[in-house]
Amino acid sequence: MKPIMLIGLVLIVLGIGALAYQGFTYTSREKIVDIGPFQASADTEKTIPLPPIVGGVAIACGVGLVILGRKKP
Q: Domain extents for the chain?
A: 3-70
Judge whether residue 73 has pLDDT over 80.
no
26/45 Cα distance (integer angstroms): 6
Position 70 scores a pLDDT of 87
| pLDDT one-digit tens code per residue, 12-46 | 999 999 999 888 899 999 988 888 888 899 999 99
Position 1 scores a pLDDT of 74
Percent residues over pLDDT 70 in the chain: 97
DSSP structure class, residue 37: T
Contact 54, 20 (CB under 8 A): no
* Helix residue spans in the chain (DSSP H): 3-21, 52-70
Q: Which amino acid is at 57?
A: V
Report the candidate in 61, 63, 51 with the shortest Cα–Cα distance to residue 21.
51
Judge whether residue 72 has pLDDT over 80.
no
Position 9 scores a pLDDT of 96
